[in-house]
Chain A
Amino acid sequence: MTDIEEKLTGILNAEADRHDIPVFSAQRIAENAVRKGFWRQRRVLLLAAIGLAGLGGAGGAVVSAVSHGEARVTVTFQAERDQDSNPSASSFKPEDVRTWILGRAKADGLRDVEVTVRRQPLAVTITGRASDTERLKMLGMPADLFFAEMGAYPAPGETPLPPSKCVEKQDIGPDLQICDQHGYVYSSSGSADDNLTAAAAQAVHRGPGPRDWAVVIHLDAATTRSYSAFTGDRAAPHERITVLAGSMGLAEPIIDGRVSDGVIESEAAFTEQQAKALAVDLLSPSPPGLYPPLLTVTVSPARSS
């Protein structure tokens, strides 16, 4: 190391020592990660509602109809007070948010769902069947689909991940992950509606059985170039990669050279409902709104009118 390099190393260390180290809470980080993953990007459906006003407070009960014989629950979404938020109330349209949520519920196969969006205090309530509680709570989670080259892991000479690990890690989050057969993982930094021009469910008539539907996605121009570069860089011929959307495997194409048409077809492994729901998730329109304040979610038995 030269003199200047040694000096620089010493100075950098001394400089770093001049700052107190803050305390980072793993619990807090995890909670934020879940919440921000839940509400991430403009595509998150309830972002339009909760991101536009930093309102706090409790309450927000919703009176709902009672379906015949089955218990119902009300899931209430409220914004915590965020003094730094600067909502644009003019772009907040409760009816648009309500329509969007109902569309998602229908695509997910949820029935007897009622939605109320209230401005003051800001609250969104979704009432549905008690048996659908977990799905109602996660109704707003998009299946983000995106990719870009992240870099090869592990480093040369180190043991690569078995390919199965790339697919089986269900808690990888809603990103689109692309893994090659050596387990090297590539992930992206965008959301699905930023990368796709189209997504559609497609029946694949390969034989009898309910799982004969696929999802075909069309990448936009920029993403097509990225995917083309990615596929063109594959070192070995006939290399299989894995494409994931959300926590679900989407496709395992064999790459025999550059793919330039920007079209990825999933495996024919979905039911019609799953395929259509996934297509809707991938192409859900981006609601207006800012990055949200923290959100609270409460679940309570629905009250009858």
Chain B
Amino acid sequence: MKRRPPPSVEPGFVEFVAARSAALFRTAVLIVGDRHAAEDLVQSALERAYRHWGRVSAMDAPEAYVRRILANLAMDHFRAAGRRPVELLEYDGAAPDVYPDVDEHDAVIRILRELPPRMRTVLVLRYFDDLTETQVAEVLGITVGTVKSQGARALAKLREAMAPQEAAEQAEQEERTA
């Protein structure tokens, strides 16, 4: 039986971690809503990728593979954590909120956290990672049709929740132009 000796770290993997770990973390923190959980998920995903690095590095899109692992680990995380909504946490970043409307930001994030995990993941992969519906389907192992319906339902929930706010903004704009 051929045994695998402990490997030295391959330079390609070092480069991959340096180049992509930040982006993976940003995706993970949006999906799970918790910095520490996101860090653990990215760590675990990269560990799994490293065990298959010879194969992964030969792929045309290694990050897609790692993102898929990350998404699956996130689903496992949710199953273990139960179905309760993820709470908003204190932020650790030094960067201020750059979104002009803080209230709208918080409202959307609150809605995002209340979405079912898969629906939330679809939104993050589509509108943060800018993946196509087909790419999202491949990452999550679901059909394109499911991606479309999950995305549409999620956007409908956002639109419905933001409708009173949008109505108020429209009224304000009309008042200014009157």
Name A's B-contacting residues (CB within 8 A). Answer: 2, 4-5, 7-22, 24-27, 29-30, 32-34, 36-37, 108, 134-135, 138, 141, 143, 149-155, 158-159, 161, 165-166, 169-175, 177, 185, 187, 189, 246-248, 274, 277-278, 281
Question: Is the beta-carbon distance between B54 and A171 smaller than 8 angstroms?
Answer: yes
Count of chain B residues with Cβ under 8 Å from any Cβ of A?
64
Does any Cβ of A come within 8 Å of B4's Cβ? yes
14 A-B contacts (beta carbon < 8 Å): A15-B99, A19-B26, A27-B9, A34-B7, A36-B47, A151-B68, A153-B61, A158-B60, A159-B60, A171-B4, A177-B55, A185-B55, A187-B52, A277-B1
CB distance from A10 to the nearest CB of B (A): 6
Name B's A-contacting residues (CB within 8 A). Answer: 1-7, 9, 13-14, 16-18, 21-22, 25-27, 29-30, 35, 38-39, 42-43, 46-48, 50-55, 58-61, 64-65, 68, 72, 91-95, 97-99, 104-105, 108-109, 123-124, 127-128, 138, 141, 155, 158-159, 162
Complex: chain B residue closest to A9, CB-CB: B127
Question: Is the beta-carbon distance between B104 and A151 smaller than 8 angstroms?
Answer: no
**Complex CA–CA separation, A14 to B91 (angstroms):** 12
CB distance from B113 to the nearest CB of A (A): 11
Interface on chain B toward A: helix, strand, loop, or mixed SS? Answer: helix
**Complex CA–CA separation, A285 to B65 (angstroms):** 31
Partner of A171, one of B22, B53, B93, B123: B53
List 12 additional contacts besides A7-B162, A24-B46; criterion CB under 8 Å. A11-B108, A11-B109, A12-B124, A14-B97, A16-B27, A19-B25, A22-B25, A24-B21, A24-B42, A30-B9, A34-B6, A185-B55
Question: Is the beta-carbon distance between B14 and A26 smaller than 8 angstroms?
Answer: yes
Question: Is the beta-carbon distance between A165 and B29 smaller than 8 angstroms?
Answer: no
Question: Is the beta-carbon distance between A8 and B123 smaller than 8 angstroms?
Answer: yes
Known interface pairs A33-B47, A246-B1, A274-B1; A4-B162 also in contact (CB < 8 Å)? yes
A-B complex: 4 closest residue pairs judged by Cβ atoms: A14-B99, A173-B51, A169-B54, A16-B26
B residues near A20, Cβ cutoff 8 Å: 92-94
Known interface pairs A26-B13, A29-B17; A174-B4 also in contact (CB < 8 Å)? yes
Complex: chain A residue closest to B27, CB-CB: A16
Question: Is the beta-carbon distance between A248 and B108 smaller than 8 angstroms?
Answer: no
**Complex CA–CA separation, A159 to B58 (angstroms):** 11
B residues near A189, Cβ cutoff 8 Å: 72
Question: Is the beta-carbon distance between B2 and A247 smaller than 8 angstroms?
Answer: yes
Question: Is the beta-carbon distance between A11 and B68 smaller than 8 angstroms?
Answer: no
CB distance from B96 to the nearest CB of A (A): 8
Known interface pairs A5-B127, A15-B105, A154-B60; A173-B1 also in contact (CB < 8 Å)? no
CB distance from A97 to the nearest CB of B (A): 20
CB distance from A167 to the nearest CB of B (A): 11
Partner of B158, one of A4, A18, A246: A4
B residues near A135, Cβ cutoff 8 Å: 3
Partner of A141, one of B3, B39, B159: B3
A residues near B27, Cβ cutoff 8 Å: 16
CB distance from A83 to the nearest CB of B (A): 16
Question: Is the beta-carbon distance between B54 and A172 smaller than 8 angstroms?
Answer: yes
A residues near B58, Cβ cutoff 8 Å: 161, 165, 169
